[in-house]
Structure 1
Amino acid sequence: MRLSNCHNFHDFRELARRRLPGPIFDYIDGGADDEVTYRRNTASFERCDLVPDVLRGVANVDLSVTVMGQRLAVPFYCSPTALQRLFHHQGERAVAAAASQYGTMFGVSSLGTVSLEELRKAYSTPQMYQFYFHKDRGLNRAMMSRAREAGVEVMMLTVDSITGGNRERDLRTGFAIPFKLTLGGMLQFALKPMWGLNYVTHERFSLPQLDQHVHMDGGTMSIGRYFTEMLDPAMNWDDVAEMVQEWNGQFCLKGVMSVGDAKRAAEIGCTGIVLSNHGGRQLDGSRCAFDQLAEVVDAVGERVDVMMDGGCQRGTHVLKALSLGAKAVGLGRFYLFPLAAAGQAGVERALGLLRAEIERGMKLMGRASISQLSRDNLRFR
């Protein structure tokens, strides 16, 4: 199977499965507990039908949107995700380059494997920085200060991960950073020698956003212990309100789901929220973002930019979310599987296919711009 044979999400996923050691593929592919929420995220789009209009004269389609003060050429962005150089040696560099080519925003995770400064200097496309709330308040302030100095446009605080989800696939293989593989997990690595060759012949794996705090050399800290020991489960709205004031710019909460929390985010000055259940990786049985979208947009859509992520695999999924009132849709696994399969070329192909699907869908819907999409386009079964 080659990259040129990949035409959709499932093709990229299969190519990534063939190229990655089993434990790493399962880390991307897996969810929490019974993975019910992970499956429902995509199924939620399928309960909604598009109602097209015809004869509307849509020779040209404008896909641009403005979200959190950033002008994007397409109505989707690459959400921040952790550990990208583990999946392909190009990591965040490949994703940033592809996002830049398509004129959209990309996120850098505090658990990212390329420094936010390097990426900010290399690409002019809007950049968001995602971080977690630490018990060490000085560390939180230092991370925000670092992002400000680097020129990051959007600060994104993830609020659905005060503790790690129960990801049983990782428990079975022993996947952890640093690696603590089970015998079966080690065998899976032995079956994919090309991955290992790439891993050892390129720059040493590191987490530059946290290199002073989490050491990946088998020493003081692992990713699991980072979540259980360094993050603060006592984080509350007063803490976040202080951070919003201190940042004094575009500030987004990722992982909001309830109307009450959305209203509170607006009240403390957030400029954006992302409805998200962390790709089904945290609270299994959680509501799907797409199913919550309409009521949250109705409650706060005039005060904050409402985005969503989770389960998006098609251009029509993006169109449905935009029709309900989302300002843009975040992608995660959608670009991680192409990254793992083929690096920058894979991510570019995936984003290009998605853009083409959205443009085709807009023409078939009789809509010349994103602003013309509305709930009139939709019916729920």
Structure 2
Amino acid sequence: MQDLLKYAPEYPSVRDLKNRAKRRIPKFAFDYLEGGCNEEVNLLKNESDFHKIELRPQYLKDFNDVNMRTTLFGREYDAPFGISPIGLQGLMWPNAPEILAKAALRHNVPFILSTVSTSSIERIAEITESNFWFQLYHPVENALRDDILDRLTSVNCPVLTLLADVPSFGFRYREIKAGLSMPPRMTLRNIFQAFGRPVWSLETLKTGIPEFATLKKYMDNKMDMSQLGKFMNKTFNGRINSEKIAAIRDKWKGKLVVKGIVSEEDIQKCIALGADGIIVSNHGGRQIDAGESSIRSLQCLAGKYGDQITVMMDGGVRSGPDIARAIASGASFTFMGRPFMYGVAALGNNGGNHTIAMFKSQLKQVMEQLCCEKIDDLKATLVPVGSGAYELGPHN
């Protein structure tokens, strides 16, 4: 297993992967991946608020070795992080969800497939030997909801993630300028951008135009891209409530996670409805610019409710130290989206393996420095507010 901790030394950080990805994919694809909503204030806070969290080592402790293995919903993973769901992954790099799913299986970390990703439930189940999670955009019709749940059950998907934070599409300036709202359109400018990225263009030609593979069976075969927006608006309603969660809880026999929870009122409802976990998230800063960062929301919720429900998080995690900061702040597990897409866009088929190995190596070094043998040991390293650490806000 030691070979899994090795990675390409030319790209030792997320920043390096991001810079290479920007040079390898068209601007419209990079803007779709990179952008947040409105002025992107919350997108920036997601990362900058992590830098205000400090951890304190104890150098004279007895120390043996680092064990990053983490048990989550009855399964032991090799590290306390996984791959977040991202829509239209194949737009940013051909076959991206399959590349990442294969890497997740090899490294024994969770991969979450989005309803609007570019690989199907059945294909990802095959690749991961059914060790994947699925994020559900709630359909308007219960029959479609039930059919998707039946498909997940038939391939033994263990964890369903219900998306809560998309009651409306975010107002994302970059996507509007690039023509990547629904339906996406290839403008003359976008075509010229694609010509400027020949490797991306050739790989896309070989793979084919990306499509919503899971949803393909529900679409009219004659539907063109101009009709896609109408189909999405007609078929899905992102706003969920207690009644919708309860109906899914009754039908779904696996683990149920609600993603996008940031308030005490909502986490209390999730607990009352029998959810197994939540993912604290602001959708990568893509939905509400006036909100708070994911790490700040986590610090508010984990201490009060972590003994009642599994509290995980994503948003702004960019390094091994950030993973350690999130765990020390109360998260049971962390997820990352953009960093893995940077990795695949930068390094192609090796991008998933490289990025996971990079995070494992970074986290291992942090734990060695902090004298933490196990993941749970990180919780004792958090420097309390008022003891020299920067204060994130009134929740702390």
Maintained 8 Å contact 2:343/2:351: yes
Maintained 8 Å contact 1:133/1:140: yes
Q: Could you tell which deviates more after superposition, 49-58 or 31-40?
A: 49-58
Query: Which residue does 1:76 correspond to in 2?
Result: 81
Counting matched residue pairs gives: 379
Aligned partners of 2:95, 2:192: CA distance in 1, in Å?
25
Aligned partner of 2:34 among 23, 29, 51: 29
Per-residue deviation, 1:355: 0.4
TM-score normalized by structure 2?
Answer: 0.90
Quick check: 1:91 aligned with 2:120? no
Query: Which residue does 1:265 correspond to in 2?
Result: 270
Aligned partner of 1:17 among 7, 16, 22: 22
Aligned partners of 2:217, 2:359: CA distance in 1, in Å?
38
Maintained 8 Å contact 1:56/1:367: no
The correspondence of residues 197-276 of structure 1 with structure 2, limited to 5 A, is 197-214=202-219, 218-219=224-225, 221-222=227-228, 224-232=229-237, 235-276=240-281
TM-score normalized by structure 1?
Answer: 0.94
Aligned partner of 1:300 among 295, 305, 310: 305
Per-residue deviation, 1:122: 2.6
Query: Which residue does 1:57 correspond to in 2?
Result: 62
Per-residue deviation, 1:366: 1.0
Q: Which runs of 5+ in 2 are unaligned?
A: 1-7, 391-396
Change (3 A) 1:310 1:199: same
Query: Which residue does 1:121 correspond to in 2?
Result: 126
Query: Which residue does 2:394 correspond to in 1?
Result: none
How much identity, in percent, do the aligned residues show? 25
Maintained 8 Å contact 2:299/2:329: yes
Q: Which runs of 4+ in 1 moved over 6 A?
A: none
Aligned partner of 1:287 among 279, 292, 304: 292
Aligned partner of 1:324 among 324, 329, 334: 329
Q: Could you tell which deviates more after superposition, 329-338 or 99-108?
A: 99-108
For 2:315, give the aligned amino acid: G
Change (3 A) 1:98 1:245: same
Aligned partners of 1:164, 1:10: CA distance in 2, in Å?
28
Aligned partner of 1:170 among 140, 151, 175: 175
1:235-289 per-position Cα deviation (integer Å, ceiling 9, x unaligned) = 3111111101210220000001001111110110000100000001111121111
Query: RMSD between aligned alpha carbons?
Result: 2.0
Maintained 8 Å contact 1:214/1:221: no
The correspondence of residues 342-381 of structure 1 with structure 2, limited to 5 A, is 342-379=347-384, 380-381=389-390
1:126-170 per-position Cα deviation (integer Å, ceiling 9, x unaligned) = 310111111111111111111111110100011101211111101
Q: Which runs of 5+ in 1 are unaligned?
A: none
